[in-house]
Amino acid sequence: MSNLILIRHGQSVWNLQNRFTGWYDVALSDNGLLEANKAGVLLKKLHIKIEFAYTSYLRRAIQTLEIILNVIKDQYIDPVKAWELNERHYGNLTGLIKNEMKKKLGEEQVKILRRSWDIAPPELGLEDEFNPRLDEVYKSLNPKDIPNTESLKDTYDRVIPYFEKNIKPKIFDNKNVLVVAHGNSLRALCKKLFDISDKKISELEIPTGNPLFINIDSEFNILDSYYLDESRGQKLLINE
């Protein structure tokens, strides 16, 4: 058996400000730092050996993983950073305050742009200050791999192939794997793992800094799944 642990990064500065963040690189808030530490404490209590760890190219996820590994003292792990695990790109919504956009566009339209399966926001301009193409960390990527906007389906289409190629074989090999990523990249992954429908996936909420523990057998059947902090757990919408 293998254990897969999924963690959304701790609260970021822009989470606190209620802004659309996407691929823009912001740090954890003070509360986010505490959430990351608590996630590490919860993992340490499991007394299991984490053998592989994956995260995105974004600082808020990297910070969260670093804090967790420091708490559980598994610093011999060499974390893998993958842009495929980045948050969904929010296009020209990036940096905007969600409540202000609800007043401007209406709550239903913002909900569609945020949570629909296959509708993406308008593209972010190539010279926009928030465009990741201006970030040195992406200079080695094929420009075609850097989106200007994404739907959740677009996010799914990059997260799942990466998972299938790089992470799933570790699980088949009975290794314990930790993935620290983002609300939408983990939503995409949970859609696959728990067979959540296109319609229902919009209802899936993933709390910040709360480890989702998934026990998987050698044939990749999920035997059990639950949030370690039960007080902040969310319904997984399994097989709905």
CA gap 19, 31 in Å, rounded = 16
Contact 232, 210 (CB under 8 A): yes
| 181 backbone dihedrals φ, ψ, rounded to 5° | -140, -135
Contact 130, 124 (CB under 8 A): yes
Reference 182, options 134, 226, 220, 150; nearest CA is: 150
Burial of 102 (0-12, 13-18, 19+ CB in 10 A): middle
Q: What is the torsional sign of CA 51, 56, 57, 58?
A: negative
Reference 6, options 192, 165, 169; nearest CA is: 192
Rounded to the nearest angstrom, the gap between the alpha carbon of residue 175 and the centroid of all alpha carbons in its chain is 21
Residue 224: CB atoms within 10 A of its CB come to 10
The DSSP secondary structure of 217-230, one letter per residue, reads: -TT--EEEEEESSG
Active-site positions read: 9, 87
Contact 118, 151 (CB under 8 A): yes
